[in-house]
Amino acid sequence: MSNQQPAVTFEEIRALLRNLPGPDLDSGTAALLRERQLTKPAGSLGRLEELAQWVATWQGQHPPDIRRPRVAVFAGNHGVAANGVSAYPQAVTAQMVANFQNGGAAVNQLCEAADADLRVYELDLENPTADFTQGPAMGEEECCRTMAYGMMAVEMGIQLLALGEMGIGNSTSAAALSLALFGGEAADWTGRGTGVDDAGLARKIAAVEAGLAANPQAKDDPLEALRRLGGYELAAIAGAILAARVARVPVLLDGFACTAAAAVLFKADRRALDHCVVAHRSVEPGHSRLLEAIGKEPLLDLGMRLGEGSGATLAINIVKSAVACHGGMATFADAGVSGREG
């Protein structure tokens, strides 16, 4: 990550949140009207029909088009990992980034299957965030700079953005963020992540509790929660989601950590994630609770908990299929098929 990112402040981010573009109702209505004319019983393609309308609404065009999907994976390291909250050492973050770059990870294969462009963003892996059990993970300028970096990942021409992350310790960060944003108990949000044993799970829960105790201000403001309890990759994801909204790019969110980053924006403005669909339900127990809190129903539930954008990438083909049916099917009039009577 370059140190030459544009200067951004929390006030500027709050102003952006107050002025997010809304849905393109004309495009959404055009999609709905076409859907009613296609050669099938109304509603028979279920969520595929909703997805086609969602893409049209947030792209601001009809018919929708997703020939150029992008997968963006942000990687960062967490100071809280020093508390023994992961089954893997922090060096694995950089090793997995190298694996992404060499084409050897699951997300690489899923991108190939979806004909999607993969971009991997390293966020100062040699310098983790501070340990949030002792104080804020990031300063405000640091958090804002990282959000700005994430915004720059939304380049012109992208038609669908799938977001993911890599970072040892980030399920602990996601649990702490979720607790700060939505309340409850640390144990409600904390799971086994990379597969920690009972002692490791107890350390994770203790770290989440200590994080909230050391950063009580995190409960008062979602951006403060992000900087105090989040990580570089989570801040970058939040920035990318905002930039995608401004650029009219629909977004697929991955699992628990990715959704926790997005939830920061939801807590600031309940409409901030309207252009986002959650791709899958993670096995991580906090994810179901988080999905309920932000009012999102995931597309897939396959028992996955890998991260690295794998669930979001897998869902690209579902969205592509929805758009293909919407644009390619004949209407009743085109096919000479009798429509529904009455």
Q: What is the pTM of this model?
A: 0.96
**Each residue's pLDDT tens digit, 83-137:** 999 999 999 999 999 999 999 999 999 999 999 999 999 999 999 999 999 999 9
pLDDT at 195 over 50: yes
Show the beta-strand stretches assigned E in 158-297. 160-166, 251-253, 276-278
For residues 43 and 92, is the Cβ–Cβ distance under 8 A? no
243-283 pLDDT, tens digit each? 999 999 999 999 999 999 999 999 999 999 999 999 999 99
Task: With H, G, I as helix, E, B as strand and everything else as coil, classify residue 9.
Answer: coil
**C-alpha distances out from residue 167 to 4, 86, 105, 111, 118, Å:** 23, 10, 15, 20, 17
Share of the chain above pLDDT 90, in %: 95
Distance CA 142, CA 76 (A): 13
Residue 5 has pLDDT above 70, yes or no: no
Do residues 52 and 143 make contact, with C-beta atoms less than 8 angstroms apart?
no
Contact 100, 117 (CB under 8 A): no
Tell me which residues are annotated as active site. Answer: 308
Q: For residue 3, what pLDDT band results from cuts at 50, 70 and 90?
A: very low
All residues at 6 or more sequence positions from 71 whose CB lies less than 8 Å from its CB, including other chains: 107, 111, 116, 117, 118, 119, 161, 162, 163, 164, 309, 312, 313, 316
Give residue 335's pLDDT.
Answer: 87
Phi, psi of 120 (to 5 degrees): -115, 130
* Integer Cα distance of 54 and 244 in angstroms: 14
